[in-house]
Amino acid sequence: MSGLLLAGCGAIVSGTTSTANSLDQAATRERITKLRAEQIEQIRSLQAQGDPMGDYLFALANAEGWIGEHRISDPVAIRDLYQKAADNGSSDAMIALGLMLFDGRGAPQYTKGVYLPREQQDMKRGLEWLERGMKSRCSYAQPLYNAMASVNKQCLVFRSPARWVWPAFRDGRTRRNLDGSFTYVLKPDAERERYWREKNAACEASAEVRTTAKDCSY
């Protein structure tokens, strides 16, 4: 009997915990939605002021899918948005454009989502844009949302783009042919791997990357 009572009690506790978790998750989603709405307003304000950071964040928000209605999902259009912001001097957009040309990723932090078609990619130009952007600041801005009740804030965390580059030179990149064979579009290159590894290590150790990661933990 005691075993059955304990089992019943456990089921009640488990159900209560599950309900509480669901409520917490719903509240967290609601807070994140509010934080995103606030950030979209800030992006619009930056754009109205002619600040290229606004254009960069607008492109990124579309690539990541949190801009809301009228989202732009066409990867070529998003590339053009990055290009516009880069041409206006945004180092973040230069980096995002560089990564998109280098390996197709529309949103630097994510491997899923918007991808530039292979025929639109240009690794050489991508690396040129990356180098250009990293001269101003080695990192790019990534919006994050900490929706914990005690924090409940939005912030920009700075991340190293070189983390996405050096593995490509370690492993190389291939294209599948019609006959099922593979051809290298980027051959492994130990020297260039080392170069981008070192750039990544230096950027990861930089003040802006370490400080923002600490200040906006998630």
For 102, which DSSP code?
Answer: H
Tell me what percent of the chain is helix, strand and coil, each rounded to the nearest 5: 65, 10, 25
| Alpha helices (H) in 65-139, listed in sequence order | 75-87, 91-103, 123-136
Write out pLDDT tens, residues 89-108.
999 999 999 999 999 999 88
Write out pLDDT tens, residues 118-140.
999 999 999 999 999 999 899 99
Report the pLDDT value the prediction gives residue 164, as an integer from 0 to 100.
94
Cα separation, 28 vs 96, in Å, equals: 29
Cα separation, 189 vs 171, in Å, equals: 8
Cα separation, 17 vs 22, in Å, equals: 9
pTM for the predicted model, two decimal places: 0.81
Max CA distance (Å), the chain: 75
Q: Which helix (DSSP H) or strand (DSSP E) does residue 32 occupy?
A: helix 2-48
Cα–Cα distances in Å, from 128 out to 49, 101, 133? 28, 10, 9
How many other CB atoms are found less than 10 A from the CB of residue 174? 13
SS3 156: strand
Q: Which helix (DSSP H) or strand (DSSP E) does residue 174 occupy?
A: strand 173-176
| Closest alpha carbon to 116 in 61, 83, 85, 79 | 79
Contacts of 156 (CB under 8 A, 6+ apart): 141, 142, 143, 144, 212, 216
Write out pLDDT tens, residues 148-157.
544 556 678 8
Per-domain residue ranges of the chain: 16-215
Averaged pLDDT for residues 158-163: 95
Confidence of residue 189 (pLDDT cuts 50, 70, 90): very high
Confidence of residue 1 (pLDDT cuts 50, 70, 90): very low
Tokens 């920009």 -> residue: 156
